Amino acid sequence: MPQRTKGVVKDMGKVAVYPGSFDPITYGHIDIIERALEIFDTVIVAIANNAEKRSLFTIDERVEMVKAIFKDTPNVVVDSFKGLLVDYVAKTNAKVLLRGLRATSDFEYEFHMASMNRSLNPHLDTLFMMTSKDYFFVSSRTIKEVASLGGAVEGLVPDLIARRLKEKFKLPVTKKREIGWDD
Ligand code: ADP
């Protein structure tokens, strides 16, 4: 059984850390996690708590939603991190970072991040998994845009997330502006 001790992760077999904003998690992310579980014993979903980047959902909400989605999958561990990703990964026994690739537009950013992380920790490699054909057009950003305009996002995110998006966007306009979000 994986141990869910925050920070230090032990006896989890082959571990991959899947970092991201997950604002909110989509079936694109979930597909990557499920496919990664065919290769790794444990996937740690590491949700970035980045004060610089405005998010629609708070860090606690994002963590709670991903935990709810994987409540029956003990080899998916959900955690949050602040600061440098390589410092967070050093507290786990992961040697692999997991990222998803959709279009060539993802490539440049991912290439730079992977190269930077490798330079910060030469023992850390990034594994890229290609998106599935069903989700290549799905991003948290477009999901939020569509949901904010009242469009249906069912089938692209779990029902729980679709509900939570509806709740968020029911807020009065002034409150929405106060919250704001970038991506
Ligand atoms: P970030 O803000 O760090 O890019 P995201 O939550 O947007 O975080 O994405 C986390 C990772 O998941 C990234 O590697 C991203 O490319 C990947 N990803 C997002 N959506 C999809 C999708 N539909 N298919 C495959 N990978 C995806």
The CATH number for 24's domain is 3.40.50.620
Q: Give me the number of domains the chain comprises.
A: 1
81 lines ligand 1 (CB under 6 A): no
Per the domain annotation, does 59 fall within a domain?
Answer: yes
Range of the domain at 61: 15-138
The alpha carbon of 116 and the centre of ligand 1 are apart by a number of angstroms equal to 18
Nearest to 84 by CA among 56, 35, 115, 48: 48
pLDDT at 70 over 50: yes
Q: How confident is the model at residue 177 (pLDDT cuts 50, 70, 90)?
A: low
Per the domain annotation, does 49 fall within a domain?
Answer: yes
* 102 included as an active-site residue: yes
29 lines ligand 1 (CB under 6 A): yes
Per the domain annotation, does 3 fall within a domain?
Answer: no
SS (H, E, C) the chain: CCCCCCCCCCCCCCEEEEEECCCCCCHHHHHHHHHHCCCCCEEEEEEECCCCCCCCCCHHHHHHHHHHHCCCCCCEEEEEECCCHHHHHHCCCCCEEEEEECCHHHHHHHHHHHHHHHHHCCCCEEEEEECCCCCCCCCHHHHHHHHHCCCCCECCECHHHHHHHHHHHCCCHHHHHHHCCCC
Q: Mean pLDDT in the chain?
A: 89
Per the domain annotation, does 182 fall within a domain?
Answer: no
Which among 85, 131, 161 is the best mutation to test ligand 1's pocket, defined by most ligand atoms within 8 Å of the CB? 131
In this prediction, residue 52 carries a pLDDT of 84
* 53 included as an active-site residue: yes
Per the domain annotation, does 50 fall within a domain?
Answer: yes
Residue nearest to atom 17 of ligand 1 (CA): 100
pLDDT at 31 over 80: yes
In this prediction, residue 183 carries a pLDDT of 46
The whole-model pTM stands at: 0.88
30 lines ligand 1 (CB under 6 A): no
pLDDT at 33 over 60: yes
* pLDDT tens-digit series, residues 143-171: 999 999 999 999 999 999 999 999 999 85
Residue nearest to atom 23 of ligand 1 (CA): 28
Per the domain annotation, does 167 fall within a domain?
Answer: no
